[in-house]
Chains A and B, each alone.
Chain A
Amino acid sequence: MRQYIIRRVLAMIPILLGISLIIFMIFAMAPGDALSGVAHMSVATKTQLRHQMHLDQPKIVQYLYWLKGAIHGDLGTSTFYKKSVSSVINTYIWNSFYLGLLSTIAVVIIAIPIGVVAATKQYSMFDSISSIFALIAMSVPDFFVGLLLISLFSMDLSLFPVSGMETMGSNATGIAKILDIMYHMFLPFLVLTITSVAGIMKYMRSSMLEVISEDYIRTARSKGLREKVVIYKHALRNALIPIITLLGFTIPGLFSGAIITEQIFSWPGIGPVTLLAVLNRDYPLCMGINMIFAVLTLLGNLIADITYAVVDPRIRLK
């Protein structure tokens, strides 16, 4: 197992190199650089700064400079925030994480029971209604849900705040602060939960259906076990295996899954930061954010594979 993990981590390196090269090449397509948009700066200062930032070198040399920094853990300096890229990301990404984590927990709590019941009562009323809900939730754009919820909960009912993470000027601490954050989090949380619950629900249902048709379920029934034991002890445990793997794949989504939702609700997460970085052509920050997301995706895949092997002893990692 340890050998397998080490090999997988080593195999990530060429992939990360490839990803960083592709992202860098995309920047190379863009006209101008970080300084060409800056007014109020003399040409001489700009030339000097460009030299300092290696912007006057060929793109591939710039890439190598970036790579050298990245290996040492230095992702460069954000031209928009005037801070190091890693500190900008570190400041905001956790707000995204809290939102993503709470929503993922809610998704699991809602999706798994509904999926199980829908599968055990296939073609029932409950099954049809949950399928219709899943279909709509999968097909609706997140920004549309967001706007609908704002117009319903914030405008018509004035129940929840439209934007931000804390009440302006509030200096509440402790539990009061957490409650205030939760209160602001509710609408973006609802949007995220609605738009991501359907996938796991459908997956759980089909996984459960597949397991129920297995021979060992028939054996369990013919032994005379009660239906509850058959479903919840024998079937559910096996049906959960692919879901656990699926949760590994949601790890990058915990951080990056809510860019549009965060933007709508001005949630101070990585989403609005990404948009600002893109709009201000803050290439070091864009590069850093994309690389973090790529690393998270790779780690998510690795964790998915490992948990798969842990929960299902039939899988042997080579």
Chain B
Amino acid sequence: MESKLQPSNELEKKYEKEVVMSPGKLAWKRFRKNKVAMTGLVILTIIILISILGPILSPYNMAAIDLSNTTAPPSLSHLLGTDASGRDNLTRVMYAGRISLAVGFLSVLIQVVIGGALGVIAGYYGGIIDSIIMRLVDIFSCLPTLPMLMMLGAIMLDLKVRPENKMYFLMLIIGLLSWPGLCRLIRGEILSLREKEYMQATEALGLKDRRKMLKHLLPNTAATIIVTAALGVGSAILTESGLSFLGLGVTVPTPSWGALVQSVDDMDTLQNYPWLWMPAGICILLTVVSVNLIGDGLRDALDPKHNS
């Protein structure tokens, strides 16, 4: 199987860098065969590229107000029309994409770091450390996510967090509330990995605990981490957009996709100015769909047993 592998495009190199093992290569090969998942990857890549490059290439400034040309319908000069202050809507949607995507990916990073670290520690040490961490997991997984986030969002307003820093605060709170699921999964895997022969070998070699956890246990949970993270990005983007829609997340003048949909505060806008709210909603939908497709594809690719 492996001899047939051909060195291919840069995406593969990127992937190799992350998982420098032949199982990674095999998984990528399986992933590439999965047309649906590849479609997701292509859509997501396009959305990310447009969000990063779009605002740079756009002739309009995200915040430039043009009161002579407000709520203009889509035209050649403004592909998605203009908003109530005459700002170019396409530029704002692209800029909002940067923020929504950044919140999605980075909050998952926080979730993975906390959930992964605590999961490995709990599973490896067991005993009292395990009990303490698992009670913490119990507590955090019973916290009602949305009401808690709403409260934290309101506190963010009270603390007068600067609009441009709000996204970092959001990443942090979404990440801090979503790690218990991953922690539980990792702990479960570590509990069974711990009993494997190669762990006895590391014991015999007298390796330090840290090395055992980081080099021998953690890499073996990579599949779980990658799949959970991929699916987590979608739900983090949905959470952020919901929060911003309620006015408790990213707020004006910084746009995020959820905040752009929130610009529909009256029935008139809803009915007569669909270009003000539809594009951002469709962007959320497309992004989350492609992220979920990639997540499902990764699950099939990383777990050959699952792929029946």
Contact = CB atoms under 8 A, between A and B. Distances in A.
Interface of A: 14-15, 18-19, 22-23, 26-27, 29-32, 135-136, 138-144, 147-148, 150-151, 155-156, 162, 213, 252, 256, 259-260, 263, 274-275, 278-279, 281, 286, 289-290, 293-294, 297-298
Nearest to B243: A260
A116 B138 CA distance: 33
Contacts of A290: 143-144, 147-148, 151
A15 B277 CA distance: 41
Interface stretch (B113-121, B195-203, B219-227, B288-296): B288-296
B72 to A, nearest CB: 20
A286 B147 contact: yes
B270 A150 contact: yes
Contact of A213 (B143, B271, B288, B308): B308
Given A15-B142, A260-B146, A260-B245, 12 more contacts: A15-B139, A18-B136, A18-B138, A23-B148, A26-B148, A26-B155, A135-B292, A138-B292, A143-B245, A147-B281, A263-B246, A289-B147
A135 B289 contact: yes
Contacts of B204: none
Interface stretch (B20-28, B76-84, B104-112, B234-242): B234-242
A297 B284 contact: no
Given A141-B284, A151-B270, A135 B293 contact: yes
B152 interface: yes
The 7 A-B residue pairs with the shortest CB-CB distance in the complex, in nearest-first order: A139-B288, A293-B144, A144-B281, A18-B139, A139-B289, A155-B271, A30-B155
B163 interface: no
B147 A136 contact: no
Nearest to B138: A15
A16 B155 CA distance: 23
A94 B82 CA distance: 42
A144 B135 CA distance: 37
Nearest to A163: B267
Contact of B150 (A139, A148, A275): A275
A278 B142 contact: no
A141 B285 contact: yes
Given A136-B289, A144-B285, A151-B271, A275 B261 contact: no
Interface residues of B, number: 43
Nearest to B238: A141
B1 interface: no
B242 A142 contact: yes
Given A15-B139, A263-B246, A141 B292 contact: no
27 contacts: A15-B138, A15-B139, A18-B139, A22-B139, A26-B155, A32-B158, A135-B293, A138-B292, A139-B238, A141-B238, A142-B242, A143-B241, A144-B261, A144-B281, A144-B284, A144-B285, A147-B261, A147-B277, A151-B274, A155-B270, A278-B150, A278-B151, A278-B248, A286-B147, A290-B143, A290-B144, A298-B142
B292 A139 contact: yes
B5 interface: no
A11 to B, nearest CB: 9
Contacts of B292: 135, 138-139
Nearest to A17: B139
A274 B261 contact: no
Nearest to A263: B246
A191 to B, nearest CB: 13
Contacts of A135: 289, 292-293
B142 A14 contact: no
Contact of A256 (B144, B241, B245, B271): B144
A15 B270 contact: no
Contacts of A27: 151
Contact of B151 (A26, A156, A252, A263): A26
Contacts of A31: 158-159
